[in-house]
Structure 1
């Protein structure tokens, strides 16, 4: 675990450059700040710049942060984000595809009421989920992997969700199933290159605090976003170099996880290997 008093210059991610989408709040914010505290330079992107600016001010390391506002569903915005990132830091070593369209964006009471039937939602609505949750991550991966391969080092971390959530919520669940399947194939293609591709899942309902639904009911999350900090710090480091094509479940991670990786219940095979 990272010592909070440790000089970031000597941290396990010192000299590395991370790019985190959806970094302005919740999971993305926690992961971005964790890697920053571990010595990385961090490119943080999000839809709304005002939230990003708050994170930058909280972090207190302006020389190692680049905060960029952009809509990752748009090709031009994706190119601009990548261009600014490379222009500032020269490369991207660690890509964390975290940004996603979630059910609560459209259905504030979805945890209680569920979602509308699929046949009531049009194709463009579904396409929007896939564009942000699947196409954008692919666009970023195809942009950064070639240079990672040239250097012989890189980390691709794609955020997913539980199998139960995939089967419960559509179209979010189907989009996450797609990115997990893609990551499984990518990991096989990257085997032995020094570049790894893994899935990181919260493994629980994670929010910074209780949520008051439109109905007035209050839902208490299982965990706060801090559970993402240790797993992403490990995944982004040299310590994870032997792990490729894995699913890391943050809610199962413990203080002993990094020293007992062979018996780590937080690390399981990617995808659904038990299914025929």
Structure 2
């Protein structure tokens, strides 16, 4: 049976990927920081007959990233699908003198994505098959600070990776979700009613759409008609207009954060 490795696998989009893949008969390697939650999730899937391995790892720790990369390149235990999902909101100002939040974001959502995608891509290319999904964001299409910049990098990096993997039997896809009702937004303080209700997506429905796009060989997946339409508008809008919309969204988000 094929095996998928999912980072950030105990909540949100990562957990939705694990659920969807388990339903499809995939075995799982679950990666996250919280060992108790990892074991709880693993027990659930083992109870359904799936083989599940847990890897406790903090992807801001380069030694932990190396351990996960080594697992991806283990020829004796091939991973056919990598989902790079681990991430978090970055609320720190670009003008802040304290770069700790930006440094951690870079380690988890840029460097770890590159290292793990590279490890998976090499191993998969040697076998002639495999798929990589890097979770970006529609925020990468606008200009809401460090998080937008990081997610823009994820999409462009994945497009470049797809080019390098062309002809190897391995595909790479950037998933660009919009607002999804998960712990991610709750932790960021932006899951309240002050944000437009029509823009919220369900994590399980989003993952089902993403897996369909993955099976079709799409390089960029933007689930839901509403976000496809919004991204089309953004692609053709003047950048000055995109910046104005981004400022308005940033102001609205800031006003919704707890004091």
Which TM-score bucket, shorter chain as reference? 0.7 to 0.9
Is 1:39 paired with 2:17? no
* Greater per-residue helix proportion: 2
Equivalent of 2:82 in 91, 95, 98: 95
CA distance in 1, matches of 2:28, 2:125: 20
Deviations 1:153-172 (CA, angstroms, capped at 9, x unpaired): 1111110111477412x222
CA distance in 2, matches of 1:52, 1:212: 19
Matches within 5 A, 1:49-60: 49-59=35-45, 60=47
Deviations 1:38-57 (CA, angstroms, capped at 9, x unpaired): 01111110011122222223
CA contact (8 A) 2:139 2:151 kept: no
Offset, 1:272: 6.1
Is 1:22 paired with 2:15? no
Equivalent of 2:167 in 178, 182, 192: 192
The aligned counterpart of 1:119 is: 95
Question: Aligned pair in 2 of structure 1 residues 76, 29: CA closer, same or farther (>3 Å)?
Answer: same
Matches within 5 A, 1:61-76: 61=48, 63-76=50-63
CA distance in 1, matches of 2:113, 2:237: 26
CA distance in 2, matches of 1:124, 1:213: 17
The aligned counterpart of 2:177 is: 202
Larger CA deviation: 226-235 vs 190-199 = 226-235
Question: Aligned pair in 2 of structure 1 residues 211, 123: CA closer, same or farther (>3 Å)?
Answer: closer
SS at match of 2:159: helix
SS at match of 1:138: helix
CA distance in 2, matches of 1:158, 1:225: 16
Question: How many residue pairs align between the two structures?
Answer: 232
What TM-score, normalized by structure 2, do the two folds share? Answer: 0.75
CA distance in 1, matches of 2:189, 2:153: 30
Tell me how large the CA RMSD over aligned residues is.
3.5
CA contact (8 A) 2:20 2:208 kept: yes
Is 1:251 paired with 2:238? no
